[in-house]
Structure 1
């Protein structure tokens, strides 16, 4: 019953997202054949709504996988250096291959994200900590170091404004022909679902996973690869969105448990719902102007994060 309610809420928010914006759209005019309204609807509103669905679900699922790979509820691509490493990769492409196609940019971003995440996992083995907050704190520090390197070189080559504007989480520029790479996340969902049992076992630790016949190291590398690829795609298409990969998996696990095969679809839907709500708020709060959705996600996410910290501390 709860799942049905989530699905209906998602459909409702999708409908609202399609008809909220600077240009007023009506169903009557769309069916009447208004060329201008159909152009806005099919060229901007549908691509934007689809990109919100895919980005929200992708970042939430990536956070879920990262939390199982590290056995820590506060780790996500934004707190493990994954996103910052991908940004460094994008800067490298902008410096040395400024005219490179999107596929090359995506591959380099994925490569840097993968290597950065593996370095973070290596740091977690060198600096073991029982405190749940210590691991994401190490990840944030590592990400800030990588981000500082990227900012330094961007400043040296006068690319700070270009990189900052491009990588800020914002869906206002999403249009037909500029978001289709996000469809790559769909087969990644399928692969993650097929290996959901193995990822769940990995979440119990190396000793138990090995006893149950799961190759812990290879599954960890495989999971990091999937997360890095999905995170790089989202970063290139719509920019960086904070907190989503931490908050949504935690909220879902509090209600539905930690079995990935059961919670994966719910996590994806909940992530899309949360991002749709934030994007709708971003469009209407100072209409006809628009706030970057990353700002709204950051504000709401920080509030929810404090609530989660309090809840986890009591439990």
Structure 2
């Protein structure tokens, strides 16, 4: 028989392996469930609208657009149905999924960066910075020499400027203070929102003012297939990059001193995350407007379900964010039909109460602990 100490150690190792196996199994079940829910959400959201369309017709039209499937699918739908599904509803729903997933994983990255569950692109002023750049393009045609990419580039530059300013104001003796970070984000966000409002009221055309105001509250109404390539590849690169960085992201949860001891170059890694989150936020805001609270709510919900391991948090956050924004868009375009609500109103009505609840929930801890 072994010593009591060895028996206790063996029992602990067995329990730890059992916990890891349970978590891995839970993650796989959740991932498959959410993937199926995403497919179901895409189907139902395309079906819903003034013209009711069957799910079979939705996917027959979609598969008929694949070159290798051409000739295998018999056309049983009208031309107006094809235009409604393929030219109007499908790109809008796909854009909602891309933006929702992107904002959710940006929220994961920012919360890991500052080790605080209250951080997100909207609260930290990144979306407001992107809005300044985007409204300059919409109203005054700034950066027009970049052509199709002018809106994305302007939004990225605005997002990068705002996050750098927030981090500069939040530093105390070379370290980021959580309280100062949140307060700096709110202050910078308000200032940039004021600048955006001034740009809007200075619009030379009434139509430009209306477009900018609607865009500032978030909208997916103008989604077109040729607009999806940039946000799609940005999301693909962003989430792929972050999945490669799950180990250093997990190290950040232990605190900067511990992460440095374990070999992580904190400053270099933070700079990389700042650049990545600004780029992704800028691209997403450019095509959807300023949509808040997704980056706050979704990562928090995922951590409550599966824990703080970023190998699990990132993919699940992307799926939940995509599903959430698809249904938020359905509500925005159907609740006051034939008019349409800005999607930012729907997400704010969900995110505001959630943020208040999160502030009141004192028992919540993020990873190894909140940033001080």
TM-score normalised by the chain length of structure 1: 0.90
Give how far 1:207 is off: 1.5
- Structure 1 residues 314, 197: closer, same or farther in 2, change over 3 A? closer
Q: Which residue in the other structure is 1:60 paired with?
A: 104
Identify unmatched segments of 5+ residues in structure 1: none
The answer to which of 94-103 and 42-51 deviates more is 94-103
- Structure 1 residues 244, 263: closer, same or farther in 2, change over 3 A? same
- Structure 1 residues 284, 60: closer, same or farther in 2, change over 3 A? same
Matches within 5 A, 1:187-202: 187-202=237-252
Q: Which residue in the other structure is 2:30 paired with?
A: 2
Q: Determine whether 1:269 maps to 2:297.
A: no
- Structure 1 residues 8, 295: closer, same or farther in 2, change over 3 A? same
Q: Which residue in the other structure is 1:76 paired with?
A: 120
Give how far 1:206 is off: 2.3
Other structure's SS at 1:32 match: coil
The alignment's C-alpha RMSD in Å is 2.4
CA distance in 1, matches of 2:56, 2:154: 46
Identify unmatched segments of 5+ residues in structure 2: 1-28, 62-74, 366-372
Matches within 5 A, 1:211-230: 211-230=261-280
The answer to which of 263-272 and 133-142 deviates more is 133-142
- The answer on whether the counterparts of 1:55 and 1:272 sit within 8 Å (CA) in structure 2 is yes
CA distance in 1, matches of 2:325, 2:254: 30
- Structure 1 residues 223, 42: closer, same or farther in 2, change over 3 A? same
Matches within 5 A, 1:149-164: 149-158=195-204, 160-164=209-213
Q: Which residue in the other structure is 2:86 paired with?
A: 42
CA distance in 1, matches of 2:220, 2:232: 16
- The answer on whether the counterparts of 1:79 and 1:137 sit within 8 Å (CA) in structure 2 is no
Matches within 5 A, 1:65-214: 65-93=109-137, 94-95=139-140, 97=142, 99-100=144-145, 101-126=147-172, 135-158=181-204, 160-184=209-233, 185-214=235-264
- Structure 1 residues 27, 260: closer, same or farther in 2, change over 3 A? closer
Other structure's SS at 1:33 match: coil
- The answer on whether the counterparts of 2:101 and 2:322 sit within 8 Å (CA) in structure 1 is yes
- Structure 1 residues 7, 44: closer, same or farther in 2, change over 3 A? same
TM-score normalised by the chain length of structure 2: 0.77
- The alignment of Structure 1 onto Structure 2 pairs a total of residues equal to 314
Matches within 5 A, 1:227-246: 227-246=277-296
Give how far 1:160 is off: 4.5
